[in-house]
Structure 1
Amino acid sequence: MDIEDLTLEEKCENLMNVVVESRKRFSKMCVEYEQKSSIMENKMLNLQLESLSKARFKSKHTVPNLDVDSMKKEVDDFTNDIQERQQRIEKLYKSLRNTEQIVLQLKEDKIGMKLKQPLTAESRITITKSHKSK
């Protein structure tokens, strides 16, 4: 069979097969390249880690010897101070709540409001008239 004897569809099909095969081959090569490059990167990183772990570093400044007991006492004093302040804040919050409840009770106290009204005859007459008109 000659190339000239093939129909246009057969030529297209052959070309598509060539494209598909080249893509398969190229993708396989790409995958292999990615795997090999990641293996090499890992080896390089491991070598860097090994060289860094073997190197000895000297500090520029020496760390002063601190008294652990005095630092522990300071931290304990600080925590105690914070706890005391927190307790004071909680007490203030409770007293504020209690005061707020008392104020609300006084505002809603109808008997106390009636006692505060004047007890003159004129005021009683005007209150009675207002109740009758309702």
Structure 2
Amino acid sequence: METGDLSLESKCENLMNIVVESRKRFGKTCVDYDQKILLMENKLLNLQVETVSNYRFKPKNAVPSVDDESKDLEDFLVEISEKQKRIEDLRRKLKNTQDVILQLEGDGVGKKLRAPLTAEALLAKAKSKKL
């Protein structure tokens, strides 16, 4: 039996050696295959990137011109500055008008000049001073 066991054992060992050798050989082939796959994938990706970068896309809607917008924006800014200047002028005129009104209210000669110069008004004024 020992010779049968030895022959069986040697057969098993030979088969295991074959399995190990085939794994080594196919393992190297698989690694080489994986590397080649990665290399090809990279080449394809680079080709796709080049193709996409060279392709001119056409928009669905026309893009408005930036010059028109900048002109509109400049017109709008000019309009705003004109309105600000107008508001400042109105403030200045209002301040001047208020100053003039305050001066007129404080002016005694102006009050006398504004008083009516009719004879009846002068008589009424004189009577009020006597009383």
Fold-level similarity (TM above 0.5): no
More helix by share: 2
Larger relative contact order (Cα-Cα within 8 Å, sequence gap ≥ 6): 2
Q: TM-score, normalised by structure 2?
A: 0.44
Give the TM-score normalised by the residue count of structure 1.
Answer: 0.43
